[in-house]
Structure formats: structure tokens, C-alpha cells
Amino acid sequence: MGHSNKTVFSSRVANLMLLTSTIFLAACGGSSSSSPATDQTETVALSGTAATGAAIGNAPISARCEDGSGFLNNVVTDANGRFQGEVGANALPCALSAKQSDQRSFHSLAVTGGRVNITPLTDMAIALAGENPSQWFAQGDLSQVAEVLSQRAQELLSTLENLGYSVPENLDPVRSTLSIGDSHDQLLDQLIAAIENAAPTLASYEALLLLLQDGNLDQIPRAIVDEDSNPSAQNFNACFNPDLFRSGAELVTQTRVTLPGQSAYTETTSQRMLEPTTFNDRPVEVREIQQSTANGQLTITQYLIIDLDSGASSYFGSVFEIGGTVVENTFEPSVDTILDIGLNDTYSYNYVAKSNGVRSNVSFEHTFLGIETVEVPAGRIDACKMRFLNFEDGERTESIEWIAVGTGINLRTYSPSEANPQSILELESATLNGQVIY
């Protein structure tokens, strides 16, 4: 590609690090809509909105209360998802269910009379309390969930905010006002869109509930950034996937490579997180990359530390092996990278690279160009567009890369020259721990 061997090995290792570090309920029925209350002389009203972003309109609402009773009247939502019903004053707490379809219901819990919403947020908070919402509505412990529901709901909202969702101030998913089109409703729209967009990594909304039941808040997909309405909210960290860097993780990709004047061919790359070790007396994590190339089998062993929350990493060195050639790289100081880069912002860094003892002065610039949809053999996928500039002993290299939102997998790499692209790499398929992603 027109670079010296030193440049190819020592600068490519940093690029590969960045590439791969960013390449990141069958509902039960419940009680009937109405049933006789234990105390029919005193009642309390329960009213609210059932919605998923869109209203759950003309839907039956069922209640199962602590004393075994339910609503005193038949309760059905109106076209805007609003409902109102009465239960016995001594019946609370009451579990509520809104039946959206034969395949899906949403759930909530009324501890006192008054407003009680039924949404994916209330459903997910119940799951975080350790319950399968549908099974809990049928026969679960209401008082136990009542004790922790508020705390679990706030943990959920805090996680959503960190994942880029627009969470209204002082929101209470159960009791805050909810009208179609308001900020509460817009959060629901964001959440459902992100869950649907996360397929096939996340199989379904019901699959997410099962993960939350075990406390896996980190499995909630990041918010999809609306480039037109809120460009300032865009950030490169939307394309980090911590699952790529967990112990034992294995990512296998097939990439179509197109070079000038040559027929396109496919490269297979396997990236595995190995057992931690020490590198230059420092505890580090180890990633092994194996790639079948036109020149033979390339193996790269990387020594690094990655923050699974932020995606920030420190890269200390690596070993390249190909065709009997071994190149050892160390970096002074470590190559430190971040993913918290806003729209059109640039992160830059300087370091010294040693390749088999030969020193090079290196600097780089990473610029986040926004989120856009890119079409590759693996499909049409939303991606972070990044420009990577590398300067090594005065020699400049550049690549434009598209990294998938949510999954963190590199979709496309374009290496421009003054007139024509030097190379184009496009994702054909990817599996993570044996599960098909693309």
C-alpha cells in the first residue's frame, strides 16, 4: 500500500486496536378485568395511560390485587391509551396488565390509588425486581415488588440516561403524567425503536426482560441518535460494544477486500480475549487476532487495558507474526484512546513506538464525522463515521471507517489516496461467541 514495513507494522497495530476496540414474553393472562372486591363499600380509583410510545388503544386492562380481587368494573383503554377503574380500598397493592396483542402484554403495580401507568418502563422495572412480568402478574408476590419497584425504576432511568436516551427530569415511570407526544412518551418511542433496531443481537423485547430479570442492565441497547433533530447528541461512544472485550469473547468476521487492479477477495479474522497476563511488569488484558491474508496467516497479540463502561483504552504493546517474521512493538507512553468524541470533534495523541527496537515518533487524530447508514454486503446498518489520521516520522496515512452503532463491529474501511481509493474493506458477516450478528 505504498508504506514502509516499519510504518505498516507499527501504525497498523494502533489502527487495528482502534478498529477492534470499537468494532463494540409470552404474556400470561392474569385475572379477569373485573371481580368482586373484598370490601365493596369503599373503593379507590386507578387511572393512567397504557403506551409503548404509541398508545395501547382499545385494550383490556386487568388487575390482580393483594387480596385476590381485581377491578370492580370492566376496564378498557380509549384510543389514546387512557383508562380508569376502581378496586376495593383494602385490596392494594394491585398488579396491572395491558394486553397489546395475543403475544404481548405490559405490566405495572399500583401501591396507592391515583395515577398508574402501564408501559415498557414499568414492565422493565418489574423485571429488574427479579420477576418475569407476565408470570409475576399471574401469581407473583406483590408486596415484595412494591418494596423495591421505585428504586429499580430509578436505576433503569439512570442507565437509560447514560445510554443516550432523553429522560425527562424527575420522571416516575409509574405515576408521572403520560400523554401521547409528551417527553415521557418520546422516551418510550426512543426505547422501543432501539430495542427493535438491536436485532439480531437482541432477539426481542421479551429476551431483554429475561436479561433484566438477572440484573443485566448493560444489555439495554443504546439510544438511536436522530441525526437531523439532535445532531449535538451524537457521540462516537454510541458505537462501543463492551461484549467484544469480555473475558473469553470471540468475534469472527468475513470481510471483502477490494484493491486497485485486483479481484476482490474475502479475509477471515478471528479476535479472541485471552486470559490476563503481565506485559513489562504491568497487569494487562490480552487479545489475539488471527487473520487469513493473501500473504499467509497473520497473528497479532495485543496487550492492553479497556474500561468496559466508557470504552477508553490504554495500549502497551503487541507482537506480530506472519510468514516467519516476528515484530515486537512497545509504546511509550501507552497509546491512550477514548470514545467520548462529539460530532465533528477531534481527539489527538502523541507517543513513541518501538518496533524490534527501532524508534518512531507517532501522532494520530481521530475525528467523529457523525452517524449515517452505510450499505455493505452484511446489510444496511447505522454506523459511526470516523476519520483516522496517522503521522509516523512525517509520513501521513488516512482511513475513513464506518463502525456499527450498538455492535461496535467495523463495517467499512476506505483508505483514500489523492485520486483513487487504495483499498476498500466491507463486512460480509460477523458472529460473536457463535451467535450470528450480521
The answer on pLDDT for 4 being more than 70 is: no
Output the nine-digit C-alpha cell for 174. 409509574
In a shared domain, residues 293 and 414: yes
The pLDDT assigned to 295 comes to 65
pLDDT value at 2 more than 80: no
Q: One-letter amino acid identity for 280?
A: N
Q: Is residue 335 part of a domain?
A: yes
Q: Are residues 295 and 182 in the same domain?
A: no
Per mean pLDDT, which range of 178-192, 222-236, 271-285, 325-339 is the poorest? 222-236
Whether 32 is in a domain gets the answer no
What CA dihedral angle connects 126, 129, 135 and 140, to 10 degrees?
-110
Residue 198 and residue 50 share a domain: yes
- The DSSP letter of residue 224 is P
12 and 51 together in one domain: no
Tally Cβ neighbours within 10 Å of residue 106: 29
**Predicted local distance difference test score (pLDDT) of residue 297:** 84
Closest CA relative to residue 9, chosen from 280, 235, 295, 241? 295
Mind listing the pLDDT tens digit for each residue in 376-404?
899 888 889 898 988 888 788 888 899 99
Q: What is the mean pLDDT of the chain?
A: 84
User: CA 377, CA 197: separation in Å to the nearest integer?
Assistant: 18
146 lies in the same domain as 54: yes
User: Are residues 245 and 99 located together in one domain of the fold?
Assistant: no
pLDDT of residue 25: 25
pLDDT at 29: 30
Per-residue pLDDT of 151-188, as tens digits, reads 999 999 999 998 889 898 889 999 999 988 788 998 99
Q: What is the pLDDT of residues 118-153, one digit of tens each?
A: 999 999 999 999 999 999 999 999 999 999 999 999
Asked if 212 and 329 sit in the same domain, the reply is no
> Is 31 within the bounds of a domain?
no
Task: With beta carbons less than 8 A apart as the criterion, state whether 55 and 80 touch.
Answer: yes
Q: Are 190 and 142 part of one and the same domain?
A: yes
Average pLDDT over residues 394-422: 80
pLDDT band at 408 (very low <50, low <70, confident <90, very high): very high
154 backbone dihedrals φ, ψ, rounded to 5°: -70, -35
* Residue range(s) defining the domain that contains residue 202: 43-232
Residue pair 85/63 in contact by the 8 Å Cβ criterion: yes
Q: Which residues pair with 285 in a beta bridge?
A: 304
Given 3-state DSSP classes, what are the helix, strand and coil percentages for the chain, each rounded to the nearest 5? 20, 40, 35
Q: Which pLDDT score, from 0 to 100, does residue 394 have?
A: 76
What's the rounded mean pLDDT across residues 423-437? Answer: 91
Residue labelled with grid coordinates 503487541: 318
- Highest mean predicted confidence (pLDDT) among 266-275, 377-386, 414-423: 266-275
| pLDDT tops 60 at residue 230 | no
- Measured CA to CA in angstroms, residue 123 lies from 127, 143, 295 at distances of 6, 16, 54
CATH number at residue 51: 2.60.40.1120
For residue 41, the tally of other CB atoms under 10 A from its CB is 7
Closest CA to 368 of 394, 390, 348, 397: 348
Question: Is residue 369 in some structural domain?
Answer: yes
Q: Which of 232, 252, 283 delimits the end of a domain?
A: 232
- CB-based contacts of 432, cutoff 8 Å, min separation 6: 201, 243, 244, 249, 250, 251, 407
pTM for the predicted model, two decimal places: 0.50
Q: Is the pLDDT of residue 420 over 80?
A: no
The reply to whether 36 falls in a domain is: no
- Residue 293: pLDDT band with limits 50, 70, 90: low
* Phi, psi (rounded to 5 degrees) for 268: -110, 130
388 within domain boundaries: yes
Residue-level pLDDT at 373? 82
One-letter amino acid of 297: Q
Backbone φ and ψ of 184, nearest 5°: -65, -45
> Would residue 243 be called left, alpha or beta, if left means φ above 0 and alpha means ψ between -120 and 50 degrees?
alpha
Among the residue ranges 28-32, 63-67, 431-435, the one predicted with the least confidence is 28-32
Residues 217 and 273 placed together within one structural domain of the fold: no
Residue 269: its H or E element: strand 265-279
Q: What is the mean pLDDT of residues 197-208?
A: 84
Secondary structure (3-state) at 134: helix
Backbone angles phi and psi of 174, in degrees to 5:
-80, -45
Ranking 112-121, 261-270, 424-433 by mean pLDDT, the lowest is 261-270
User: Does residue 370 sit within a domain?
Assistant: yes
In a domain, 418, yes or no: yes
Last residue of one domain, picked from the residues 232, 266, 288: 232
For the chain, how many structural domains are there in total?
A: 2
Are 378 and 292 contained in the same domain?
A: yes
Q: Tell me what percent of the residues of the chain surpass a pLDDT of 70.
A: 86
340 and 410 both lie in a single domain: yes
What does the pLDDT read at residue 422?
Answer: 66
88 and 134 in a single domain? The answer is yes
CATH code where residue 379 lies: 2.40.360
pLDDT tens per residue, range 45-89: 999 999 998 899 999 999 999 999 999 999 999 988 999 999 999
Residue that finishes a domain, picked among 174, 204, 232: 232
Whether cis (ω within 30° of 0) applies to the bond prior to 173 is no
Higher model confidence: residue 218 or residue 108?
A: 108
Q: Which residue has the higher pLDDT, 294 or 332?
A: 332
